Amino acid sequence: EFVNAISTTVVAAFAVIQVCKLFLDDRAHRSRADAKLSAQAYALRRQMRGWLADGLTLDADMIIRALRVTQIPDRVTTSEVRRAEDRILEMVATAPEASSVVASAIRTAYVLFYKATTRINYQLAYASSTLSDDGKELSGAFGDIKLAIDSLSVAVDPELQALESKNDVARPQRFLE
């Protein structure tokens, strides 16, 4: 019986070690996913902040008038939006591997990103027609972009945010002409 008790104890200890190892491996995997998403969120957030800094924060009526004559600022090109879309799609695909806080922030940003770009695309398509709402949709789109940026901020590692705020240089704001 003594041998049986020892072998049962050894098997139980081995099982506990395996469960702990699985837990630690899962935690390490989530940490790696969080780190990857942090870098991607940082890059996408900077990109979207650039859109706003390049003139999209102006009065919506002014933007509608500019859209009727030209386009959204040069920086917000189709390829620029496509690159942002590729980034956020990759992030959403990785989100299930991340911690719940980071995954939730990424999913929220994803929905807000698509909501904003749908509104902007609608305005680009109808800016010269009577179907345009004179800026309400664009104002809402810019608000959604700002909310997406805020959501992405939750996914950015605090140390990276601290480095950013310490080293960030204010950019001059360009305006639509």
134-143 pLDDT, tens digit each: 567 777 888 8
pLDDT tens digits, one per residue of 108-153: 999 999 998 888 777 766 655 555 555 677 778 888 999 999 999 9
What pLDDT is recorded for position 92?
A: 94
**140: its two tokens:** 């809402």
**How many helices (H) does the chain have, and how many strands (E)?**
6, 0
Share of the chain above pLDDT 70, in %: 69
Instruction: Flag the least confident range among 59-63, 101-105, 139-143, 152-156.
Output: 59-63
- 105 in Cβ contact with 155 (< 8 Å): yes
pTM, 2 dp: 0.67
More confident residue, 24 or 102: 102
What pLDDT is recorded for position 61?
A: 52
CA distance 135 to 139: 6
Q: Which of 157, 125, 154 is nearest to 138 (CA)?
A: 125
- 109 in Cβ contact with 151 (< 8 Å): yes
- Determine the Cα angle at 134 with ends 176 and 110, to 5°: 75
What pLDDT is recorded for position 174?
A: 42
**41: its two tokens:** 């969120």
- 119 in Cβ contact with 138 (< 8 Å): yes
- 92 in Cβ contact with 33 (< 8 Å): no
